[in-house]
Amino acid sequence: MSLRSPFIKIGSSSSAMAAWAWIALLIPCSIYSFLYNPDYLPHLIGYSLLGSIAESIYTFIIKRKRRLVCMGSAFSAALLAASVPPTVPFFPMCCAILLMVWIIKLPMSGSPLRFNAAMAGRLFLMLVFPATAVNWGTPAVDAISTATPQELYRSEGYPLEYSQWLFSKIEGSWEGLLTLVPGSPGETFPLLLIPIGALLVWKGIIGWRTPIFFLLSFSIMTAIFGHDPLYNLLSAATLFSAVFIVADPVSTPMSKSGQVLCGLIIGISNAMIRQFTFYTEAIVYAVLIGNCYAPLLDKMAFELRGTQLQKRTVKLVYSLGK
């Protein structure tokens, strides 16, 4: 299917697009599993399978046409698993996946208002299972607690060296008090996420406007608040969110201008929530806020485009009449 301006071009097969995104997500997660947690990759694939099974059950109950492999729900489940601590137990993850597939993703399919399913599942974990949703690791014997690099930066003002971020050497402890852990599995390889995002844009899987304007607005706001914008881009899952979450073609506007404005809304919201609340990772709320504005932004773009076409038609008729 192809949509003309002011809307973006969308691939003909949503399953194929989800499969490409799932494979792309598997790359950083596989490296994370190899370096930090060998058991993580099998868990990620298992959660993907659970998402696919959940969609099959839903389509069977409502008697909708069933597909052999439900890649959309499989990718959403994998995305959720890649954005939360790898130590989240199976039961909370199972509840979150079933909720996002059965209540958010499939029932809202085709409606003007569509929330990012993975972020809705993550919000569920944050509200219902808060201890597991923020438990990034097990404290060492001589440590008070664990901390991700962004948590350490926010609480103590101590930034890691860029070489640690870029080459994923996140380990050790800070002053014997905080044991460093890499964070969520999808966010630890910024150098790898950039070419992955470029590949997905080139393949037409995602659009470039929403993530680019998200990164720009977020960087400007963090600079205004007196923080290092480059450090914030390489930490706190910013690049991961830009590639796999903010650029989601399902929950973001279809119109080109709407994508730009949505990216600005998410970037500004993310920076402000992180600055004025205790949430280090505010992307969940920022993305859901942007999703709420998506129908309005598309409506405004459609009406503006219609007004422009009407003016052109009147001008053309007037010129022909002369």
- Mean pLDDT, rounded, for 239-244: 93
Per-residue exposure over 128-166, b if at least 16 CB sit within 10 Å of its own CB, e if not: ebeebbbbbbeeeeebeebbbbbbbbbeeeebbeeebbe
Tokens encoding 93 = 């993850």
- Which of the pair, 177 or 87, is modelled with greater confidence? 87
Q: Which residues contact 100 (CB under 8 A, 6 or more apart)?
A: 76, 77, 80, 117, 118, 120, 121, 124
- Mean pLDDT, rounded, for 90-112: 91
- Mean pLDDT, rounded, for 99-109: 91
- Burial, 275: exposed, middle or buried (Cβ in 10 Å; 0-12, 13-18, 19+)? middle
Other Cβ atoms less than 10 A from the Cβ of 59: the count is 16
Q: CA angle at residue 195 from 37 to 180, to 5 degrees?
A: 35
Are the C-beta atoms of 228 and 157 separated by less than 8 Å? no
Q: Looking at residue 67, what is its pLDDT?
A: 60
Task: Read off the amino acid at residue 101.
Answer: V
Q: Which residues contact 30 (CB under 8 A, 6 or more apart)?
A: 41
Per-residue exposure over 248-266, b if at least 16 CB sit within 10 Å of its own CB, e if not: bbbbbbbbbbbbbbbbbbb
Taking 60 as the threshold, does the pLDDT of residue 9 lie above it? no
Is pTM beyond 0.75? Reply is yes
